[in-house]
């Protein structure tokens, strides 16, 4: 089959190799074999190719590996104990980083990690959604403390609302949970698009997030969907400043993997875990403010994908894709990603 091998970790795109003679994987037990029509590039792919999470990936896989965390396609073979799917089903899926990825023609995935894709979306549109939406879903429904659940009156800011995670959260808050007051930061060129497509109440230039000191203007809850790039501390501080005392901050770039990569899985992971658990204490000391900080991560789930699929089929949510490339143009796709030249998800297509 065709596929993109990552032969080593590093900045150079030459570490990615387009191959046409890779073996097609065989589905076993509860796995299905998906013929991939479309896949995408997520921020995780771009940092993984440079070595991020290699300490964890190395536990299960050895280089060369295939990147790509989500896809949309058709089931062409099933394992002996697959119950819920059959050959010909049109499905979508997202898988964790320690499994072989989707930047290729065929992938085996456990049936628990897939669902039928939304019937009204193309494969290209469907391939843009699973990874970010499952991460966002986890943040909203599982990570937020039970005594702080979102109501229609929770005043919420989504930092980075034009990204895949932010765009999904904005739509879910406004069009499904009917939250009254939702604001987002983004590049000013995306103001009108986000107002129109997500129904967000207020758009704020992310280079100019200044919140009046009056506590009434501050937020109860912030989803921080931007890792901060080279200014992580500054980005975190902006969010803390914009929160009410006692407010909740949800981040998507917790310290776990960074500790593991730095110090190895055995000592790094427990240290990262401790660091993560003590995040709210750190914030209290660092900023003299009572803010509850939690981190959300991607978690594969076919049953959640099924619920998300219904929200698209009922036209409550819409996808956000822009530039498209063929599999053999993967280096151009990553260059486009690095230069932030796409106003929506970058899609990779397989031409059969």
126 close to 113: Cβ distance less than 8 angstroms: no
269 binds ligand NDP (CB under 6 A): no
Q: Nearer Cβ to ligand NDP, position 227 or 313?
A: 227
Q: Nearer Cβ to ligand NDP, position 222 or 291?
A: 222
Residue 138 phi, psi dihedral angles, 5° rounding: -60, -45
Place of tokens 């109440």: 201
160 binds ligand NDP (CB under 6 A): yes
Interface positions, 239-268, toward ligand NDP (CB under 6 A): 252-253
Instruction: Output the smallest distance, CB 319 to ligand NDP, in A.
Output: 13
Residue 32 phi, psi dihedral angles, 5° rounding: -115, 155
Q: Nearer Cβ to ligand NDP, position 79 or 344?
A: 344
206 binds ligand NDP (CB under 6 A): yes
Q: Which stretch binds ligand NDP (CB under 6 A): 38-46, 102-110, 176-184, 263-271?
A: 38-46
295 is in an annotated binding site: no
94 is in an annotated binding site: no
Three-state secondary structure call for residue 281? helix
52 binds ligand NDP (CB under 6 A): no
* d(C-alpha 145, C-alpha 349), whole Å: 39
Q: Contacting ligand NDP (CB under 6 A), which of 227, 263, 313, 332?
A: 227
268 close to 262: Cβ distance less than 8 angstroms: yes
Q: Contacting ligand NDP (CB under 6 A), which of 190, 218, 244, 292?
A: 190
296 is in an annotated binding site: yes
Three-state secondary structure call for residue 125? helix
Query: What does the buried/exposed string (b/e) look like for 67-87 if buried means 16 or more CB atoms within 10 Å of the residue's CB?
Result: bbbbbbbbbebbbeebeebee
179 is in an annotated binding site: no
Q: Which stretch binds ligand NDP (CB under 6 A): 1-9, 52-60, 158-166, 212-220?
A: 158-166
Instruction: Output the smallest distance, CB 87 to ligand NDP, in A.
Output: 31
336 binds ligand NDP (CB under 6 A): no
Residue 344 phi, psi dihedral angles, 5° rounding: 145, 180
Alpha helices in 1-149 (DSSP H): 43-48, 54-60, 123-126, 130-138
Interface positions, 161-180, toward ligand NDP (CB under 6 A): 162-166
- For helices 191-198 and 164-171, the axis angle rounded to 10 degrees is 40
Nearest to 72 by CA among 31, 142, 4, 121: 121
The residue ranges of DSSP E strands in 121-231, in sequence order, are: 156-159, 182-186, 202-205, 219-224
333 close to 346: Cβ distance less than 8 angstroms: yes
Q: Which stretch binds ligand NDP (CB under 6 A): 9-17, 32-40, 220-228, 262-270?
A: 220-228
Instruction: Output the smallest distance, CB 254 to ligand NDP, in A.
Output: 7
Q: Nearer Cβ to ligand NDP, position 27 or 254?
A: 254
Count of residues near ligand NDP by CB under 6 A: 24
Peptide bond preceding 37: is omega within 30 degrees of 0, i.e. cis?
no
298 binds ligand NDP (CB under 6 A): yes
Instruction: Output the smallest distance, CB 226 to ligand NDP, in A.
Output: 3
175 close to 159: Cβ distance less than 8 angstroms: no
Residues that bind ligand NDP (CB under 6 A): 42-44, 132, 135, 159-160, 162-166, 185-187, 190, 206, 225-227, 252-253, 297-298
Known binding-site residue numbers for NADPH? 165, 206, 296, 298
């Amino acid at each position: 089959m065709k596929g993109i091998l990552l032969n080593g970790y590093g900045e150079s795109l030459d570490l990615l190799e387009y191959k046409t003679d890779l073996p097609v994987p065989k589905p076993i037990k509860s796995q299905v074999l998906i013929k991939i029509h479309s896949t995408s590039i997520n921020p995780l792919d771009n940092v993984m190719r440079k070595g991020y999470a290699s300490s964890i990936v190395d536990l299960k896989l050895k280089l060369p590996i295939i990147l790509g965390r989500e896809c949309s396609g058709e089931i062409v073979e099933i394992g002996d104990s697959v119950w819920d799917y059959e050959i010909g089903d049109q499905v979508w899926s997202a898988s964790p980083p320690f499994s072989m990825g989707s930047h290729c023609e065929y992938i085996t995935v456990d049936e628990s990690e897939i669902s039928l894709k939304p019937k009204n979306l193309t494969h290209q549109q469907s391939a843009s959604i699973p990874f970010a939406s499952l991460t966002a879903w986890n943040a909203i429904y599982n990570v937020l403390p039970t005594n702080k659940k979102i109501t229609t009156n929770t005043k919420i800011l989504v930092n980075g609302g034009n990204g895949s995670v932010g765009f999904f959260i904005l739509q879910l808050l406004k069009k499904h949970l009917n939250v009254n007051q939702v604001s987002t930061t983004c590049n000013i060129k995306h103001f009108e698009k986000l107002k129109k497509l997500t129904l967000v109440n207020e758009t704020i230039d992310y280079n100019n997030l200044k919140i009046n000191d009056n506590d009434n203007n501050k937020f109860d809850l912030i989803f921080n969907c931007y890792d901060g790039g080279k200014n992580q501390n500054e980005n975190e501080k902006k969010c803390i400043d914009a929160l009410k005392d006692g407010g909740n901050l949800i981040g998507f770039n917790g310290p776990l993997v960074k500790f593991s990569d730095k110090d190895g899985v055995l000592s790094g992971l427990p240290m990262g875990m401790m660091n993560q658990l003590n995040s709210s204490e750190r914030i209290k000391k660092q900023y003299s403010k009572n803010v509850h900080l939690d981190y959300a991560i991607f978690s594969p789930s076919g049953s959640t994908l099924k619920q998300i699929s219904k929200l698209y089929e009922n036209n409550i949510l819409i996808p956000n894709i822009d530039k498209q490339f063929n599999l053999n143009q993967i280096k151009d796709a990553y260059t486009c990603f690095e230069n932030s030249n796409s106003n929506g998800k970058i899609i990779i297509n397989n031409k059969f």
